[in-house]
Structure formats: C-alpha cells, structure tokens
C-alpha cells in the first residue's frame, strides 16, 4: 500500500497501482470537508504562494512528491506528463445504491494494436480524502481489462484471471490507473459517504511504435480530454519552460483565449469560464 521502487513495474503488469498515503490526516480532512480551492490554499504557508507562479495549491498537490515520480515513470518521463483535469467529488451520505456500470474513460483505438502498449495514453490519480473500507463507496477495477474493447471481451479473454477488485485504503491514499482499464464505483451500504480528488494526466510527445501493418507508426500526443479546461496566463505562458510544458495540453477554447490576449469577456462567454 506504500510507494516502492516497483510501483511502475506493478502498474505495467495490471494497469493500476495503489501508492501510499500522500497527504496527512489534517490535509485529507481539510480537503474532504471543504471541496473548495480557496480552502485548499490555506494548507500552504503564505510565503509559498507565488502570485505569478502555479495555482496556489500547486506542487504539493497537482505534482505531489509521492505520486508524481510514479506518474512520470509510467508516462515516459517528467517531460512527457501533461496536466489535463483536476476535480473534487463527493458521494454524500445516504446516497443509496446506484447503478454505475463498469466502464473505461478516454481511450484510443490503437491501444488494441500498437506495440509496445506502454506508456498509456491517459493516467488518472484518485486520492481518497476519507477512509475507504467495506461498507463505504469504493473504487473498483478489473486488472488487465485495458487490452479489451468491452467488459464481456475482458471476461472471456481473462478467463480465470478475471477479477473485480475493490480498493480499500485510508484517507490520503492514491490510486493510479490507466483510463483504458474498466472500473466503477461500488456503493457500499448506500449509507456512508466518500470524498475523492481526481486528477487526470495526458501523455505528451511523439513516440515511435508499430502496428500489425507497419513498423513505422508514430504515436501522437494524447488528445485533450475536455473542451472547457482553461489554463490562466501565469501557467500557459510561464517563464519556466517545464511549467509551460506541463500546462501545454490546450484545447480549442484555450487556443482562442490565448489568441485573444486572455480577454476576460471571451472567458466569461465559455462554459465554466468563471469557474
């Protein structure tokens, strides 16, 4: 359950890995209790808040010292990691029993044919902000299912190795998974709640690869996940090239906003532009 030298190897074998506790109890409870960035900022000392630097929650969270080295190793190195999305989610108490099916997140068709498979196209980090145990909602994965287009194919193809694995861990733990892996949220007893922080990473850069029909295939950078994600000027055009690269996964809305000189009126016209 703790970060170790073989985390990357374990991930490549089953396409998910649980990293040890990333944040302490005070931080996890604060994040879980507020679900608002303005409160997360209070977890950092004032002198760490750089007006023209990263968002205030910054490296202690979006590039956490515990999980980010594993993220970088999985995606092909620190220069290959691109920030995609960050959100806080809650399953409230007494939510009842839902009907979430097993599913995968964003995928690319070439995943089923390319060699080598790794690095994966997108990586998600789910951080437990409350303790997750039998009876609480929990993240659940089907190890090895990334190699299949449907859950039925995974069930048939994996045979006796097919498993639906709920992940129980204390608040502060982090689960990294390939978005092509089939997964779901189990509801537990329908009475207890759960709070999580989800962060998605994309893979940047061009990679030589092969397909059954050619050995000259080149994998492009992973596409953007959303059409509404926006990076402010202080990140998109940061003086540090490593930070610019990390926040360079731009969608069309971002491109238009940059071309406008980061016009405030244009931003307000976009979905979630003020959020």
What's the confidence (pLDDT) of residue 139? Answer: 94
115 close to 143: Cβ distance less than 8 angstroms: no
Q: Pick 247 or 56 by higher pLDDT.
A: 247
**Maximum separation of any 2 CA atoms in the chain, in Å:** 57
CA–CA gap between residue 75 and residue 82 (Å, rounded):
9
Residue 254 has pLDDT above 70, yes or no: yes
DSSP 216: E
Summarize pLDDT for 15-74 with one digit per residue, the tens.
556 665 544 544 444 444 433 333 333 333 444 444 433 344 455 677 877 888 999 999
Q: How far is CA 165 from CA 132, 149, 168, 171, in A?
A: 13, 19, 9, 18
DSSP 96: -
Output the CA angle 56-86-174, nearest 5 degrees: 95
Summarize pLDDT for 77-116 with one digit per residue, the tens.
999 999 999 888 888 899 988 878 999 999 999 999 999 9
135 close to 189: Cβ distance less than 8 angstroms: yes
DSSP string over 111-174: GGT-BS-PSPSEEEEEEESS-B-TTS-EEEE-TTGGG-SSHHHHHHHHGGG---EEE-B-TT-E
Residue 162 has pLDDT above 50, yes or no: yes
Bridge partner residues of 110 (DSSP): none
Phi-psi region of 185 (alpha: psi -120 to 50; beta: other; left: phi over 0): beta
Two structure tokens written together for 261: 């000189």
178-206 burial, b if ≥16 CB within 10 A, otherwise e? Answer: bbbbbbbbbbbeeebebbbbebbbbbbbe
- Mean pLDDT taken over the chain: 82
> Per-residue pLDDT averaged across 228-251, rounded?
93
CA–CA gap between residue 274 and residue 240 (Å, rounded):
26
Summarize pLDDT for 177-221 with one digit per residue, the tens.
999 999 999 999 999 999 998 999 999 999 999 999 999 999 999
Bridge partner residues of 16 (DSSP): 177
CA–CA gap between residue 254 and residue 230 (Å, rounded):
6
Summarize pLDDT for 119-141 with one digit per residue, the tens.
999 999 998 999 999 999 999 99
What are the structural domains of the chain? Answer: 7-216 (2.60.120.620), 226-275 (no CATH)
């Amino acid at each position: 359950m703790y970060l170790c030298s073989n985390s990357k190897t374990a991930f490549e074998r089953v396409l998910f890995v649980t990293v040890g506790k990333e944040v302490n109890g005070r931080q996890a409870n604060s994040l879980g209790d507020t679900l608002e960035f303005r409160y997360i900022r209070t977890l950092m000392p004032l002198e760490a808040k750089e007006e023209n630097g990263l968002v205030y929650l910054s490296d202690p969270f979006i590039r956490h010292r515990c999980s980010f080295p594993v993220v970088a190793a999985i995606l092909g190195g620190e220069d290959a990691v691109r920030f995609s999305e960050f959100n806080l989610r809650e399953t409230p108490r007494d939510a009842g029993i839902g009907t979430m099916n097993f599913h995968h997140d964003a995928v690319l068709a070439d995943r089923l044919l390319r060699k080598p498979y790794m690095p994966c196209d997108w990586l998600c980090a789910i951080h437990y902000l409350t303790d997750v145990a039998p009876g609480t909602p929990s993240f659940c994965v089907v190890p090895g299912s990334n190699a299949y287009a449907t859950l039925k194919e995974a069930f048939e193809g994996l045979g006796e190795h097919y498993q639906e694995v709920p992940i129980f861990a204390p608040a502060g733990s982090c689960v990294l998974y390939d978005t092509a892996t089939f997964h779901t949220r189990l509801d537990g007893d329908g009475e207890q709640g759960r709070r999580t922080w989800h962060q998605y990473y994309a893979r940047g850069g061009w990679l030589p690869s092969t397909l059954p029909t050619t050995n000259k295939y080149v994998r492009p950078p992973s596409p953007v996940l959303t059409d509404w994600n926006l990076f402010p000027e202080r990140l998109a055009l940061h003086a540090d090239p490593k930070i610019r690269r990390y926040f360079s996964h731009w969608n069309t809305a971002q491109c238009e906003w940059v071309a406008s000189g980061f016009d405030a009126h244009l931003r307000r016209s976009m979905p979630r532009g003020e959020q």
